[in-house]
Structure formats: C-alpha cells, structure tokens
C-alpha cells in the first residue's frame, strides 16, 4: 500500500469493472411523456464542482452538477403506497424469465455441451444488454425531469423499476454462473467478467432506493417517505431523512468515461486508493483499511463504514472522478455549521445548518415561555415537516436561496434563507 494512504480506514472494498457502453434499447425512452408540466424554480447549486465538495468533520459530498451555471431542479415530494411499482416489477420479472427460458432453459437438458456453452454465452450477453438499457433509462429520466418533462413520481418509478429489474438480472446471472455452467464439463464464465457485471447491477441497489421501495409497499401513508430530488443535465441527487438517519445518493454522468483509458493500471491499486483518499480524506481517516479486488477494469467501488455511517463511491478510472456516491449518516453525527434565529409574534425559530447543504435542524419555541411549539414547516410553499414534542424537526434545504415558513394555528414566521 502506498505510504500516503491513511492507516485508519475501516472498510475499503475495491471493485474494478468493465466499461459500460450505452445502448439505447426500445425501453430506454419509456419514461412517461404525458406528465403535467410542473412549476419549479431552477437554481444554481453553490460550491458545485467536478470533485466532491469539501466538508469539515464529516464526509465530503458529491454534487449533481459540475458547472455553476447549470440549472438544477429541486423538488420535494412525499412518496408512499404505490401498487404500480409492484405491477411493473412483476412485468419485468416475467419478461426476463421468458427471455432466459428462450435462450437457455427450453432445450438445455437435451443440448450438446457446445450448444450449452453458446446458450449460456447468449444469455449473459442478453443480461449485459439489458443492464445497458437500465443505465440509459436512468439518464433519460433524470434529464427529462430536469427539463420538467416528467414528474417526481415518474422519476421515482424509473429508479425503482431499475432497482427491481437489476435484482432479477443479478439472480439470473448467478444462476447461469452456477447451475448452468456446472452442467457443462470444463466450461466456466470469466470470474472477472461476472464480478464486473454483478457490480454494475449493484449500482442500482442503493440504500435510498431500498427506502423508496419500502415506502411503495407500505399499507398506509404513515409509511410514506419525504424525499428531496435535485436533477440537472449532468446528474442528480435524491435524499431523505429516515428516522435518525440522513440517506442520499448522487450520480454524475459527466464524470463517467466508460471507453476512456484507465489511469489506475498498477496491480497494487495504490494510485486508485490514494485518489479515493484524496477525495474523501476525513472519511478515510476514520478507521483501518481493508482491500478486496474483484476485477481491474475502469470503474472502482469503495465502501467506507465507520460508527453508524456509511459511504460508497464509484471512481471512474478514465476521468479519475467520482461518478456515483451513496451516503448514510446519523443526524447526531453531522457537525453544526451555522446557527440563525428569527422571532415574530412571540414565536422564535432557530435553525442549525450542517455542512454542504446537509439536513438542517429547526426548533420552534414560544419566545416568552420558552416552551416548544407545534408548527408546520414549509420551504418555498411546500410542506417539509412538522415539529415534534420538543418543537424540533429536521428537513432538507434546497441548494439556493429559499423562503422558510413556520406556521402554527395562530402565528407565522417567514424568512428568506441564503446558503453561505
């Protein structure tokens, strides 16, 4: 390991993957175009850059756009019970099962070993093609959402469809790599290729999408999830507060060059580890290092876990930049950055911000008695939460200037908040 690598990195899993050419299949444009044209205010994220934005005493954060002139659509939505997601998932599972049956199952038992090899190879190729379709479907949906052409719910449907379909493809790939190849003497799939294909499918299995899936299966609105969605031409972020945990995922399409020359070719991967450490120095310093290589192609996944927090990033070997990032942080682990308070009609609102436009804590009290107050909190007119018994609520602020309102049955405060 390179001497520059911190000695206290807890878990570092490194996987290198094959390049992922984009192939637009018939479903690539499946994102609905009949959505209403929602009104939204394009904004400019502060501190946007190609690299994750630096933060003190917490993990750096990737932003969904690389150019400060890029417009970012920021929306809030509450996502809950959704039978449509389950039905779409069943349709995709049946289609994949039929495709695999046609390619492998129907005549496998009676085929020669040479024919079996061709069947398995064709089935793997089909899975890789469908994986490309999933990725292109995601890019199209994000860009159409940024342009106001699809709704928040339609974008979530695309993310969840990819979440479910990637699981089915992952299982089908493992069946081919196990049961089917075991039945062909002297034949095996490339371990490096299988691991690369698995990891590309795992890209769709983020914690945020798992939370959205749980919300879709809830039986009532109590299981709904408040979500912040930010989309731009170059990428997106989807974030939520789940109980005491802040969960977010960000993808940067412009940081991905699947066909570019890999800059991290050394067998020790020390250059790649150094680059990841350079981009996330605070997280890398939290605990010891472990390394697990699953391939050596152009895309590397690193997972860092410390306390109850988790960071997973995908580093592109050609651009040397992060193309996908998933983070989970307990709210109590986020350092305070700015405190500000406002008072009106004996109502006091105190806001505590966290770094890189992370979750903000809002406390509403009666300025005379000091007692906590039950209030509804709105951002630019959209409800983002209600204070609890302690008069406190956490919410996700937009990346640009916004109007914050705390409203009770009889009193109200509205203030314009400008991120530093």
CA R_g for the chain: 23
pLDDT tens profile 2-26? 444 443 344 444 444 433 322 233 3
Report residue 406's pLDDT band, with 50, 70 and 90 as the boundaries: very high
pLDDT value at residue 301: 86
Mean pLDDT of 112-116: 93
| Residue pLDDT, tens place only, 258-280 | 788 888 877 777 888 889 999 99
Distance CA 299, CA 314 (A): 7
Q: 284: exposed, middle or buried (C-beta count within 10 Å: 0-12, 13-18, 19+)? A: buried
The strand order across the sheet containing 73-79 reads: 15-16, 299-306, 309-316, 322-330, 245-252, 235-242, 225-232, 73-79
Query: How far apart are the C-alpha atoms of 112 and 1, rounded to whole Å?
Result: 48
For 339-380, how does the pLDDT look when each residue is reduced to its tens digit (9 = 90+)? 999 998 899 999 999 999 999 999 999 999 999 999 999 999
CA distance linking residue 77 with residue 148, whole number of Å: 15
- Look at residue 278 in the predicted model and tell me its pLDDT: 94
Asked if the model's pLDDT at residue 306 lies above 60, the reply is: yes
Architecture of the domain made up of 338-417: Sandwich (2.60)
Whether pLDDT at 62 is above 90: yes
Residue 255's Cβ-count burial label (10 Å; 0-12, 13-18, 19+) is buried
How high is the mean pLDDT of the chain? 84
Answer yes or no: is pLDDT of 123 > 50.
Answer: yes
Q: How many CB atoms lie within 10 A of CB 16?
A: 23
**Hey, CA dihedral for 2, 61, 80, 93, is it positive or negative?**
negative
Instruction: Note the pLDDT tens digit of each residue in 24-60.
Output: 333 333 333 333 343 444 555 544 578 999 999 999 9
- Please tell me which of 69-83, 152-166, 270-284 the model is most confident about, judged by mean pLDDT: 152-166
Predicted confidence (pLDDT) at residue 66 exceeds the cutoff of 80: no
3-class state of residue 129 by DSSP: helix
Closest alpha carbon to 206 in 329, 325, 82: 325
Give the residue range(s) of CATH 2.60.40 domains in the chain.
Answer: 338-417
């Amino acid at each position: 390991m390179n001497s520059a690598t911190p000695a206290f990195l807890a878990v570092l899993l490194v996987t290198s993957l094959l390049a992922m050419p984009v192939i637009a299949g018939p479903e690539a444009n499946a994102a609905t175009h009949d959505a209403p044209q929602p009104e939204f205010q394009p904004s400019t994220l502060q501190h946007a850059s190609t690299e994750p934005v630096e933060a003190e005493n917490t993990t750096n954060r990737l932003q969904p756009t690389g150019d400060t002139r890029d417009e970012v659509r920021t929306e809030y939505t509450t996502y809950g019970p959704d039978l449509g997601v389950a039905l779409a998932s069943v349709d995709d599972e049946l289609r994949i099962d039929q495709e695999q049956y046609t390619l492998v199952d129907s005549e496998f038992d009676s085929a020669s070993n040479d024919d079996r090899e061709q069947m398995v190879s064709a089935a793997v190729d089909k899975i890789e093609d469908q994986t490309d379709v999933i990725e292109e479907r995601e890019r199209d949906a994000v860009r159409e959402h940024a342009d106001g052409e699809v709704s928040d719910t339609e974008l979530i449907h695309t993310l969840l469809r990819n979440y479910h379909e990637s699981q089915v493809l992952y299982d089908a790939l493992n069946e081919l790599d196990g049961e089917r190849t075991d039945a062909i003497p002297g034949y095996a799939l490339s371990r490096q290729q299988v691991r690369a294909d698995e990891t590309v499918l795992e890209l769709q299995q983020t914690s945020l999408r798992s939370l959205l899936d749980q919300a879709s299966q809830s039986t009532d609105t109590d299981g709904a999830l408040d979500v912040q969605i930010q989309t731009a031409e170059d990428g997106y972020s989807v974030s939520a507060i789940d109980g005491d945990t802040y969960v977010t995922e960000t993808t940067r399409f412009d940081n991905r060059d699947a066909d570019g020359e890999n800059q991290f070719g050394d067998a020790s991967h020390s250059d790649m580890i150094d680059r990841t450490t350079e981009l996330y120095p605070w997280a890398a310093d939290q605990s010891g290092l472990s390394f697990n290589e699953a391939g050596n192609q152009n895309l590397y996944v690193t997972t860092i876990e410390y306390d109850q927090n988790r960071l997973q990033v995908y580093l592109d070997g050609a651009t040397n930049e992060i193309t996908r990032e998933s983070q989970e942080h307990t709210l109590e682990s986020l350092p305070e950055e700015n405190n500000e308070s406002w008072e009106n009609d004996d109502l006091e609102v105190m806001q505590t911000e966290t770094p890189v436009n992370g979750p903000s804590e809002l406390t509403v009290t009666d300025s005379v008695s000091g007692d906590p107050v039950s209030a509804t909190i709105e951002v630019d007119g959209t409800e983002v939460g209600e204070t609890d018994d302690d008069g406190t609520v956490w919410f996700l602020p937009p990346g640009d200037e916004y109007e914050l309102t705390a409203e009770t049955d009889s009193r109200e405060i509205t203030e314009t908040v400008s991120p530093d």
